[in-house]
């Protein structure tokens, strides 16, 4: 506590606190200091594995190398091996097909369902709002296991429903047929990830001024015209965000593949993420090749994200 003392008619200087911390930190510096624990955690959890995987992709890493702790440098050898591997090219092709199917279905269904639940006076909107989050709460691996039971050739629920409705006369091996296996994996994935896209589109719909629809109705515009000339143009920014996010996640699909098909039948559902996993964590445990394939996958996703922004987002400015 500071105070003033008088000695012999002279006024003594105020007492200073025993400790001084210097000048106050600016808001920017204080914000950085407060975020240091988070930055350190992200560096340990994300940055270190990413850079270490990049290091491994330029080295030969096998079980014998892991035992010795010495990883011979091979330069771009791992990348040359995967680009010359027909199985990697097939996995990349399957990934592109899977991504095209799942992302297209998610965007179209998300807009349709978001428009449905945006009608607050319709009783179906209330039911849909309740049901929409159920798939989002299911863990990915559990979702795959549930659908694998539904697809079961002998006692699957899907075959039983179709047989009861008279739509099929013999059971269909949905996940065991090379012609239907990729679609059989895409449907559970879409079912699980669709709520996220719906929430994004629904939030964007809430930001549209209702007066725009009222003015269009006064001018005689129908529902389809209002959607095409008002709703869709105003939804384009969030559609771009949805495309980028869903494409990046679809390229990394793994859980449904693991739970339903394990890449089969044959190599019909080998995707890029499954290829990286099999190369790195299955015999012959070539972790360097697995890391290289993962980085090729990340590069492709980055290029697609830039393409989305350049080709689509620029048009809405």
What are the tens digits of pLDDT across the range 3-18? 544 555 555 555 555 4
- Looking at the structure of the chain, the number of domains it has is 1
54 is a domain residue: no
Instruction: With respect to residue 62, please indicate whether it lies within any of the assigned structural domains.
Output: no
Per-residue pLDDT reduced to its tens digit, 165-216: 888 888 889 999 999 999 999 999 999 999 989 989 988 998 888 888 889 8
Asked if pLDDT for residue 149 goes beyond 90, the answer is yes
Question: 194 in a domain, yes or no?
Answer: yes
**CB 213 within 8 Å of CB 230:** yes
Residue at 96 is within a domain: yes
| 122 inside domain | yes
Q: For residue 204, is it within any domain?
A: yes
Q: What is the pLDDT of residue 178?
A: 92
Q: Kindly state whether residue 14 falls inside one of the protein's structural domains.
A: no
What is the mean pLDDT of the segment spanning 125-143? 80
- pLDDT band at residue 23 using 50, 70 and 90 as cut-offs: low
pLDDT in tens, 295-313: 999 899 888 888 877 776 5
Neighbours of 84 (CB within 10 A): 9
Q: Judge whether 52 lies within some domain.
A: no
**Residue 119 domain boundaries:** 76-316
Confidence band for 125, pLDDT divided at 50, 70 and 90: low
> Residue 179 sits in a domain of what CATH number?
1.10.3720.10
pLDDT reading at 102 higher than 90: yes
* 244 — pLDDT class (breaks 50, 70, 90): confident
Q: With bands split at pLDDT 50, 70 and 90, how would you rate the model's confidence at 21? A: very low
């Amino acid at each position: 506590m500071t105070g003033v003392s008088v000695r012999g008619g002279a006024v003594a200087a105020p007492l200073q606190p025993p400790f001084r911390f210097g000048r106050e930190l600016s808001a920017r510096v204080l914000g950085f200091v407060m975020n240091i624990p988070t930055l350190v955690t992200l560096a340990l959890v994300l940055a270190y594995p990413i850079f270490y995987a990049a290091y491994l992709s330029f080295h030969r890493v096998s079980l014998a190398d892991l035992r010795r702790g010495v990883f011979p440098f091979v330069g771009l050898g791992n990348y040359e091996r995967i680009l010359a591997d027909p199985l990697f090219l097939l996995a990349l092709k399957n990934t592109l097909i899977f991504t095209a199917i799942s992302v297209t279905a998610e965007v179209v269904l998300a807009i349709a369902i978001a428009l449905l639940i945006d009608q607050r006076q319709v009783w179906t909107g209330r039911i849909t709002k309740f049901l929409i989050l159920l798939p989002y709460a299911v863990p990915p691996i559990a979702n795959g296991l549930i659908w694998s039971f539904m697809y079961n050739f002998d006692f699957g629920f899907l075959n039983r429903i179709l047989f009861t409705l008279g739509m099929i006369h013999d059971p269909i091996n949905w996940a065991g047929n090379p012609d239907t296996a990729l679609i059989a994996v895409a449907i559970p994935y879409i079912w699980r990830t669709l709520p996220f896209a719906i929430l994004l589109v629904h939030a964007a719909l809430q930001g549209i001024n209702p007066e725009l629809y009222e003015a269009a109705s006064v001018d005689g515009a129908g529902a389809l015209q209002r959607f095409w000339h008002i709703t869709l143009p105003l939804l384009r920014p969030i559609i771009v965000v949805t495309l980028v996010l869903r494409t990046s996640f679809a390229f990394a699909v793994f859980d449904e593949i693991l739970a339903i098909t394990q890449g089969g039948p044959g190599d019909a559902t080998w995707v890029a993420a499954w290829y990286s996993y099999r190369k790195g964590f299955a015999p012959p445990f070539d972790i360097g090749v697995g890391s290289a394939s993962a980085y090729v996958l990340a590069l492709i996703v980055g290029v697609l994200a830039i393409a989305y922004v350049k080709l689509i987002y620029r048009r809405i400015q």
